[in-house]
Structure 1
Amino acid sequence: MTQQPDTAVSGEWAEALIHGRRTVLPKRLAAPGPDPMQLQRILGAAAAAPDHGELLPWRFVLVPEPARGALAEAFAQALRERDAQASGEQLAQAREKAFRAPLLLLAVADLGEGGEAIPATERLVSAGCAIQNMLLMATALGFGSALTSGKAMDSGPLRALFSLRAQERALCFVSIGTIAGPKRGRTRPAVDAYVRVLEAGP
């Protein structure tokens, strides 16, 4: 018979993990990244996200080292589309973003087609929960992580590189690695800053 965890201890551990998670910029994430077993634990955590209707309305695409060059060129092409006058230095900066973290994934959400039973907003919430589960598992394993996006996310070059379907959206990149620089914390908002109680009617 499986022994139930001590709720007081597990609750304190979960609270410490959640509040201990910090965004570490990709340029401060160095090798080594997660090994294959750790990666499976991180990816497996996504499966615990709420998923109304069991649609699996999200997926992740690993970008290994051999594919970073193609991603770098997609970033550069996306910048050229937005700014035909982009300098060589600006294009180099766009390319460099593809090489920063040892582990890089693209989070993709399937928003469905209009009129479906599970709306796009609920699908996005499910994707967000999957991403957060992965970030928390990465933190539990001792790694730093970050989410990054930008104007290239919905560009033609990036959509073509990742073979995104019409109803799919590239949400963000997930970067994970060993923390190589100081983590800069931020002040967490107080609970009463984002919680209200619905007033009863007359």
Structure 2
Amino acid sequence: MQTEYPAGADDFLTILAARRNYTLRRLVAPGPDDAALLRIVEAGAQAPDHGLLRPWRFILIPQHKRHLLGDVFAAAVLARDPACGDEALATAHDKALRAPCLLVAVLRDEPGTIIPTHEKLVSLGCAIQNMLVAAQLLGFASGLASGAAMDFAGMRTLLGLEAHERAICFIGVGTASTVKAPRVRPDVSQFLSSL
């Protein structure tokens, strides 16, 4: 006997399987307009949230502020390697210009709650995945990026992070400049077992 699934379930699973992670340099215009971005971010709010803490938030880095992010990237490289040279600084600065839509995912790990940090991270991860899938459903490509600059003091200052907050990764959304082949996914038997 075949299981009956709700209408649209097969379509959703097909779209989910078609999702690819793109490096931010492979994301070009057009990106989501304001209405599409709102829908993408609203999808994040559907994530599991033990204790209803909303232990995350997202910060949009608009195009006209990307130079500020580039300055932070360059300063972070210079702090790690004072002899890095102008080419390395320019390359670091240019990373801020990638992806037409750029968000920063921030973990909010407020003290004094009984919810452990790892559960808050899981909630953030679910929110991010919801946003990536929503972007896919709306016809956009997406990708995540992180790096040493995430914990740089200048990044904290730029983003206005509070003491209990930590920048986790960037989320880029746009149009894929090239079509990416599907990667081989593990067979379910490799990661599903029964007690």
Per the TM superposition, whether the score is higher than 0.5 is: yes
Aligned equivalent of 2:147 = 150
Q: Of residues 44, 48, 51 in structure 1, which corresponds to 2:49? A: 51
Whole-Å separation in 1 of the counterparts to 2:84 and 2:192 = 44
The reply on whether 1:17 has 2:15 as its aligned counterpart is yes
Q: 2:81 & 2:181 partners in 1: Cα distance?
A: 32
Q: What is the root-mean-square deviation of aligned Cα atoms in Å? A: 1.3
Report the Cα distance in structure 2 between the residues aligned to 1:171 and 1:195, rounded to whole angstroms.
Answer: 28
Distance in 2, matches of 1:84 and 1:185, equals 40
Instruction: Measure the CA separation in 2 of the matches of 1:131 and 1:92.
Output: 29
- Is 2:125 the partner of 1:128? yes
Contact 2:18 2:182 in 1 (8 A): no
Count of aligned pairs between the two proteins: 192
Where does structure 1 differ by over 3 angstroms across 4 or more consecutive aligned residues?
6-9
Counterpart mapping for 1:81-120 below 5 A: 81-113=79-111, 116-120=113-117
Q: 1:124-179, CA deviations, whole angstroms, 9 ceiling, x for partnerless residues?
A: 00000000000001001111000000111111111111011121111100000012
Identity, % of aligned positions = 46
Deviations 1:174-196 (A, max 9, x none): 00001221214311111122222
1:183 equivalent among 163, 176, 180: 180
Given that residues 112 and 120 in structure 1 are in contact (C-alpha distance below 8 angstroms), is that contact kept between their aligned partners in structure 2? Answer: no
- 3-state secondary structure, aligned to 1:93: helix
Aligned-residue offset at 1:96: 0.8
Alpha-carbon distance in 2 for matches of 1:187, 1:154: 33
> In structure 2, how many angstroms separate the alpha carbons of the residues matched to 1:193 and 1:94?
39
Contact 1:24 1:184 in 2 (8 A): no
Give the unaligned 5+ runs of structure 1. Answer: 1-5
Is the contact made by 1:58 and 1:108 (CA closer than 8 Å) also made in structure 2?
A: yes
CA contact (8 A) 2:146 2:168 kept: yes
* Contact 1:104 1:176 (8 Å CA) reproduced: yes
Report the counterpart of residue 136 of structure 2 in structure 1.
Answer: 139
Q: Are 1:27 and 2:30 matched, yes or no?
A: no
* Residue in structure 1 matched with residue 194 of structure 2 by the alignment: 197
SS at match of 1:177: strand
1:15-55 Cα shifts (integer Å, max 9, x gaps):
11221110122112111111111111111101100111110
1:43-73 CA-partner distances (Å, limit 9, x unpaired): 1101100111110100000000111000000
Provide the C-alpha distance between the structure 1 equivalents of 2:75 and 2:191, rounded to a whole number of angstroms.
Answer: 40
Q: Distance in 1 between matches of 2:81 and 2:191?
A: 38
Q: CA deviation at 1:8?
A: 4.2
Which has the larger displacement, 91-100 or 10-19?
Answer: 10-19
